Amino acid sequence: MSEPDRLPAAELPPGTVRRAGDWAVGNRGEDRYFAVSRRCRHQLADLAEGSIDADGCLVCPWHQSRYDVRTGEMVEGPKGFLGYHGPTPLYTQLVQVLGRIARLRVRRATREGTDVVLE
Ligand code: FES
C-alpha cells in the first residue's frame, strides 16, 4: 500500500498534527506545514498525537521531547521515561544527544490549492 501524499488542508488548521501513513503532518500556522516520521526517538510514541508549541516545535505526547520539524532534530530531551513523568537531567541529556544524531525523517509539505502535499 502506498503512502498518502496528500491531505485536505481543511483537516490541518493551525496548531494541529495529523497522521498520514508513516508521517506526522502538522501546521505551524501561516501555511507552514511539516511532515516528519511518526515514531519518537525516545520510546516510539506516536508523534501524530503530539502538539505544536509556541516555538513551532513538535512535542511528543508521552514525555514532551521537543523536535525541530525542519530538521527532525530533537532539541529538548524527554521529561521522564516509561510511566514516570518528571525530572531526569542526565538521562534527558543523553537521549537528547542520541536524538540529535538519529533524527526524525523529514518530508517537504506544501499547500497546493485545497490540499497539503508531501513531496
Ligand atoms: S516517547 Fe517521546 S519523549 Fe518519551
Q: Tens digit of pLDDT for each residue in 58-115?
A: 999 999 999 999 999 999 999 999 989 999 999 999 999 999 999 999 999 999 999 9
Determine which helix (DSSP H) or strand (DSSP E) holds 66, and give its type and residue range. strand 66-68
Which of 51, 58, 60, 81 is the pocket-test mutation for ligand 1 (most atoms within 8 Å of CB)? 60
The whole-model pTM stands at 0.93
The mean predicted confidence, pLDDT, of the chain is 94
The pLDDT value recorded for residue 62 is 96
Determine which helix (DSSP H) or strand (DSSP E) holds 36, and give its type and residue range. strand 33-37
Task: Mention every residue, 6+ apart, whose C-beta is less than 8 A from residue 112.
Answer: none
Residues 70, 18: Cα–Cα separation, whole Å: 17
Which of 38, 47, 58, 62 is the pocket-test mutation for ligand 1 (most atoms within 8 Å of CB)? 62
Residues 5, 81: Cα–Cα separation, whole Å: 33
Domains of the chain, first to last: 6-118 (2.102.10.10)
Centroid of ligand 1 to alpha carbon of 41 (angstroms): 7
Cβ 116 under 6 angstroms from ligand 1: no
Cβ 88 under 6 angstroms from ligand 1: no
Report residue 31's pLDDT band, with 50, 70 and 90 as the boundaries. confident
What's the first-to-final CA gap in the chain, in angstroms? 17
Centroid of ligand 1 to alpha carbon of 95 (angstroms): 10
Name which of 11, 33, 3 is nearest 110 in CA terms.
33
pLDDT of 4 > 80? The answer is no
The pLDDT value recorded for residue 3 is 54
What's the rounded mean pLDDT across residues 16-42? 96
Residues 65, 105: Cα–Cα separation, whole Å: 16
* Helix extents (H) in 1-119: 89-101
Residue with cell 485545497: 114
Cβ 45 under 6 angstroms from ligand 1: yes
